[in-house]
Chains A and B, each alone.
Chain A
Amino acid sequence: MKLAETYRAASAGVSRFLWSSSVQRVKMLALGQQANEGWGARLIIYFLLSIIAYLYLQPLFYIISTMFKNLNDLLDPTVKWIPRELDFSNLRTAWRGLHYPQAFVHTLTIAFVCSAIQVAVCAMTGYALARLTFPGRGLVTFLVILTFLVPPQITIIPLYVIYSKLGLLDTPFVFIVPALFGQGVRSALFIIIFRQFFRTLPATLEEAAKLDGASAFRLFSRIMLPLARSACLVVFLFSFIWYWNLYYEPSMFLRDHYLPLSISLDRLQEVLTGVPAGGGGEALRKIDPISESPKMAAAFLIIFPPLVLYMFMQRWFVEGIERTGLVE
């Protein structure tokens, strides 16, 4: 009785051991010692990433494919991705409808100038929060985070009044002035990024600068800022793209003369069909097949410049993000 029990227990143990070791061997082969070494794991990673990448790229494909479709292709359900003939007239229509050269210059001016200013001002503020001591630093940090949480809708009417009193409406200065004072688009986020970055630098830098008799501003502009190159790049790119795509604030502040691309796109419907878009772009509009292709062409024209910028900068961008240590 006892013997049988022991035998059973032992055999269960042996079989468990054999089973687990063979599983281990298969696992080793498929997964490798580390998660990324085995061919099985790699295959799974590629598979998953490819599916997700397709979902990510699908809207871009949709824009490009629809852009070249003429009305026949658009209404024909058998034409899904590749149009029968490339129709460039949509691009021409969109170019004219957006007043592309003019709107492009406006958007570029706003995005470039504001981003450059934001890099400088946010770096300064972030540096102060990270490395300079003064009473109230904690409070300022808290307030910076708070500004990130304030929805723009709360302050938009008072701001409108302030800007109109200052005569800034319908000029690019309506965006340049807030950027100058550290209140541009998502400035708070950038300040926090810079703060986190400057905190990672060694304290010996300041000591060395002090021994050499350098002033705080010299230290900042000659040593700290060059060290923060990667953080600057990340902030500049983010800021540029967010200014480029900005819609809500321009729709309030730039209504007549200084139209950026996002507002032109909103008004394209009106240009194409003669029917006013009505209210704002936030409401989903009725779709009519005639304006579908030109609108996608317009969308392409709008995202093309930042896309090119991103392609050139992407290597540094990705590396920069890894190196900034956005947060600790």
Chain B
Amino acid sequence: MKETKQRHKGFLRSRLKQYGVGYLFILPWAIGFGALIAFPLGWSFFMSFHKVVATTGGFSYDFVGLQNFKDAFVKDNVFPIQLIEYVQEMLLMIPIIVIFSLLVSLLLNQRFPGRFLFRAVFFLPVIFATGQVLTELFAQNAGEIPFMDQYNLEPIVQKYVGEGLAQPVLSVLGKTVIILWYSGVQILIYIAGYQTIPKSVYEAVRIDGATPWDSFWKITLPATLPFISLNTLYTIVDLFTFPMNPVLEHVRKNMFKPDTGYGYSSALAWIYFAFIFVLLAIVLRLFSSSAKRRGGRA
């Protein structure tokens, strides 16, 4: 009796020690999360319900309830339009980026001489597709591919897509280079993903007489599904925190306007965040349900 108790105690102690080590490893992150994410998030949530005026001693808060959120849709004549336009554009760009990077990664995954050179080129945009250099390039129109003017695509698009959708479609076409450049990380993820498919599977189906076409649809694509979902999520996050994003620019402008201030801009940022969140939730649902249908893992 006594012995088992003691053993139990020893077990408990080793368990606790084990947990302690885990918490110790997590500690820096946990402090950072509390101080630099959770606390600021809570604060900005708090501000979004107030009219915030910056005074010399700090901020003065004036509770206004949901007024800021209401204003965003009723009073503000820029924000809802920009938000909807940008979301439309994203909905077009996300599948294009995901599919484009899938195709390029498939090509790059083939074995052919000179593959290294091409791979190096395709990872290059990761270096300068972020930040100010990109903004400068776009300011000089170097980011656009001239085919829009060359083939006079604008009236054609308007004719076939309809007035309402023409604007986002045109704007996406104008951003071809962004689509190409923002595929860098996704291509990497896909290529890393292909390495998880064992070579023997391909050999087996080849012996069974499957063509490359079959083996792509039956093996490569199902095995890549989790990476497609990962890439979709990554693309959404990447595009929504994009430096030239008009919505974020609007949020930023409102921060320093005297009549709107931090409270209002926090409310805008939260609305925007909510949109991203809903979109991500939908994508996650879609992918997990399709993975379930296949009986595989997401």
Contact = CB atoms under 8 A, between A and B. Distances in A.
A60 interface: yes
Contact of A307 (B104, B127, B266): B127
Given A299-B137, A322-B195, A151 B143 contact: no
B18 A134 contact: yes
A282 B111 contact: no
A287 B28 contact: no
A152 B249 CA distance: 12
A153 B248 contact: yes
A175 B140 CA distance: 31
Interface hub of B41, B123, B131, B249 (most chain A Cβ within 10 A): B131
A59 B277 contact: no
B295 to A, nearest CB: 18
A138 to B, nearest CB: 12
A151 B274 CA distance: 11
B254 to A, nearest CB: 10
Interface in A267-289: 279-285, 287
Given A36-B111, A241-B127, A143 B33 contact: yes
B25 A303 contact: no
Contacts of A245: 127-128, 130-133
Nearest to B251: A153
B253 A279 contact: yes
A321 B192 contact: yes
A150 B121 contact: no
Contacts of A134: 18-19, 22-23, 26
A157 interface: yes
Do most interface residues of chain B lie in helix, strand or loop, or is the interface mixed? helix
A49 interface: yes
Contacts of A248: 243
Contact of B29 (A46, A125, A307): A125
A180 B119 CA distance: 33
A318 B140 CA distance: 32
A323 B201 CA distance: 19
Contacts of A295: 136, 140
Interface string B16-40: 0011011101101111110111011
A299 B139 CA distance: 12
B287 interface: no
B47 interface: yes
A220 to B, nearest CB: 8
B172 interface: no
Interface stretch (A4-12, A14-22, A27-35, A83-91): A27-35
Interface hub of A129, A147, A154, A191 (most chain B Cβ within 10 A): A154
Contacts of B123: 310, 314, 317-318
B118 A216 contact: no
Contacts of A315: 116
A324 to B, nearest CB: 7
A324 B192 contact: yes
Contacts of A310: 123-124, 127
Nearest to B18: A133
Contacts of B249: 280, 282-283
A137 B124 contact: no
A281 B244 CA distance: 9
Contacts of A159: 36, 40
Nearest to B32: A181
B136 A326 contact: no
Contact of B32 (A129, A154, A178, A323): A178
A75 interface: no
A137 B196 CA distance: 26
Contacts of B248: 151, 153, 282
A79 to B, nearest CB: 15
5 contacts: A33-B206, A132-B18, A132-B21, A151-B273, A265-B136
Given A35-B110, A183-B32, A307-B128, 4 more contacts: A134-B19, A283-B249, A295-B140, A327-B192
Give the top 3 A-B pairs by smallest Cβ distance, nearest first: A181-B32, A245-B131, A134-B22
Interface of B: 18-19, 21-23, 25-26, 28-33, 35-37, 39-41, 43-44, 47, 58, 104, 107-108, 110-112, 114, 116, 118-128, 130-133, 135-143, 145, 176-177, 180-181, 188-189, 191-193, 195-196, 202, 206, 212, 216, 226-227, 230, 237, 240-241, 243-245, 248-249, 251-253, 255, 262, 265-266, 269-270, 272-273, 276-277, 280
Interface of A: 31, 33-36, 41-42, 45-46, 48-49, 52-53, 55-60, 62-63, 66, 121, 124-125, 127-129, 132-135, 137, 140, 143-144, 147-155, 157-159, 161-162, 178, 180-183, 191, 216, 220, 238, 241-242, 244-248, 262, 265-266, 279-285, 287, 292, 295-296, 298-299, 302-303, 306-307, 310, 314-315, 317-318, 321-328
